[in-house]
Structure 1
């Protein structure tokens, strides 16, 4: 039996979304700050969840491991770290569960297990979109040394990865709808066919009177008895 298209769709989008989420989590580019007072005009400050880097547009030199206590102590940074890590871990577990449910090496997939895996992938995508959207909304209100604050590429990658997981997980969750009353829809005709072959109804026998017998009986009854 071929693997259903909804499972192929989900199993492709989930790992791709996980890679984008991982890049968004570890890369220091959630926002970029330029035109910092008292600094060089070509200085661009890239701030992420775990690291801050100083880059220069003229020489392209990069200096990471910069310290900023006020930035890292912001509430959104702490919450975003927890949610992004939870999303990465949950996505790995969800892909494993979905892979067991798809079971490309067997005759038919396990729709319920694959649907649960898709549901976990969907939740993982939601856990990514929440901190990314929240950070984007309050990005300018987080402590910054300049008013020239722009969106970093990590937010874009986070949005794309989260949406890919939401779509892939949502499509795979359709597998849960394949169970109606604890029975697969595609197994119902097969069950009826087996039942009809194993328990055939006995044929009805109809007794038809013999025409020749009726004629002989009527003829013998019509002949008068011989006189003695």
Structure 2
């Protein structure tokens, strides 16, 4: 069987986009920032990063790193929750679309199921649109989302009630990080893969193929004049 180019592109791009969006979803580098903290006459450079489900704080040029599930005002922010829901829906739809597309392409047979492959492409394209919506929402409100206090600092505040919640962690200037870029690339790859599979609705033309001729059965009989 000669698989159409559009189907090949779709069946390759869709899983690639799924992997990229999934990688972005589970990593905590959606946004990051740096801050300098004076401790005992010395100055430490802190690296802060946030994702959809995890946040991390690391001391620069050292192995000291602490990660924790998102909590506080960041977790309760409606925009973060909406981005989480959109990403989860995108992953589910993309996975279902890939299954449908694989069944529709039917590389083990001579004739593909074009409608099934195109339906899978529609799901993959919709998944890419949901990913783009989540990424756009997060990027637009990146600096406005709350910054939760690390558990280690919360314990220090419990031992020292006079400490101000923000004294131990200076205000950070946050900017987009690597996971966010992975997500953007993956979302666009999903859209391209879904669009390629959607072309399966149209049957290809073969100019070099002989055209079928429809002959009518003609009954021959003799006529006596």
Name the TM tier (shorter chain).
0.7 to 0.9
Paired position in structure 1 for 2:165: none
Distance apart, 1:24 and its partner CA: 0.8
Paired position in structure 1 for 2:194: 169
Query: What is the correspondence of 1:68-217 to structure 2 with a 5 Å cutoff?
Result: 68-144=71-147, 146-178=171-203, 192-193=212-213, 195-196=214-215, 199-203=216-220
8 Å CA contact retained: 1:37, 1:146: no
Paired position in structure 2 for 1:6: 6
Give the alignment's TM-score, normalised by structure 1.
0.78
5+ residue gaps, structure 1, are 179-183, 210-228
Provide closer, same or farther for how the CA distance between residues 84 and 57 of structure 1 changes in structure 2, counting only shifts above 3 A. same
Paired position in structure 2 for 1:214: none
Distance apart, 1:34 and its partner CA: 1.4
Q: Whole-Å Cα distance in 1 between the matches of residues 143 and 36 of structure 2?
A: 14
5+ residue gaps, structure 2, are 148-169
Distance apart, 1:190 and its partner CA: 8.8
Q: Whole-Å Cα distance in 1 between the matches of residues 220 and 60 of structure 2?
A: 91
Q: Whole-Å Cα distance in 1 between the matches of residues 136 and 49 of structure 2?
A: 18
Larger RCO (CA under 8 A, 6+ residues apart): 2
Whichever structure has more helix as a proportion of its residues is: 1
Paired position in structure 2 for 1:56: 59
Distance apart, 1:25 and its partner CA: 0.8
* Deviation readout 1:10-33 (Å, 9 max, x if unpaired): 010111111111111111111002
Aligned pair count? 198
Provide closer, same or farther for how the CA distance between residues 10 and 151 of structure 1 changes in structure 2, counting only shifts above 3 A. same
Distance apart, 1:47 and its partner CA: 0.5
CA RMSD of aligned residues (A): 2.6
Q: Whole-Å Cα distance in 2 between the matches of residues 37 and 66 of structure 1?
A: 23
Give the alignment's TM-score, normalised by structure 2.
0.79
- Which is worse superposed, 143-152 or 118-127? 143-152
8 Å CA contact retained: 1:6, 1:171: yes
DSSP 3-state at the match of 2:57: strand
Paired position in structure 2 for 1:33: 33
Give the number of the structure whose alpha-carbon radius of gyration is greater. Answer: 1
Distance apart, 1:61 and its partner CA: 2.9
8 Å CA contact retained: 1:46, 1:53: yes
* Deviation readout 1:157-212 (Å, 9 max, x if unpaired): 1100000000110111011233xxxxx977xx99954x53xx533357677x8xxx
